[in-house]
Amino acid sequence: MTGKQWETVLETWLKALPVAWFRNEPKMAGKIRISGGTPDYTALLAGKCHLIECKEDANTALDLGHLSPHPEGKSLGHSIKPAQADALTKWQLHGGYGWIAARLEVPAAAPKKQGSLLIAPRKEQVIQRLVPWADWRRLLLGGTRSVPYVEFEMLGYPLQGPDDLLKALQSARLDATTPTWLQVAGGPTVNLKGFEGAL
Q: What is the pLDDT of residues 143-194, one digit of tens each?
A: 999 999 999 999 999 999 999 999 999 988 654 344 433 333 333 333 444 4
Work out the average pLDDT over 110-125. 74
Residue 96 vs residue 118, higher pLDDT: 96
Residue 73 vs residue 51, higher pLDDT: 51
Q: What is the pTM of this model?
A: 0.80
Measure Cα distances from 72 to 32, 76, 161 in Å. 24, 11, 40
Q: What is the pLDDT of residue 140?
A: 92
- Nearest-angstrom CA–CA distance, 53 and 92: 14
Classify residue 164 as exposed, middle or buried by CB count within 10 Å of its CB (0-12, 13-18, 19+): middle
What is the domain class of 3-173 according to CATH? alpha beta
- Nearest-angstrom CA–CA distance, 184 and 180: 12
Work out the average pLDDT over 110-136. 83
Closest CA to 18 of 38, 44, 42, 41: 44
- Nearest-angstrom CA–CA distance, 61 and 160: 19
Coil/strand/helix, residue 42: strand
Mean pLDDT (the chain) is 81
Give residue-wise pLDDT tens across range 37-57: 789 999 999 989 999 999 999
Mutual angle of helices 162-171 and 3-15, in 10-degree steps: 80
134 pLDDT tier (thresholds 50, 70, 90): very high
Domain ranges of the chain: 3-173
69 pLDDT tier (thresholds 50, 70, 90): confident
Closest CA to 46 of 173, 185, 160: 173
Residue 43 vs residue 123, higher pLDDT: 43
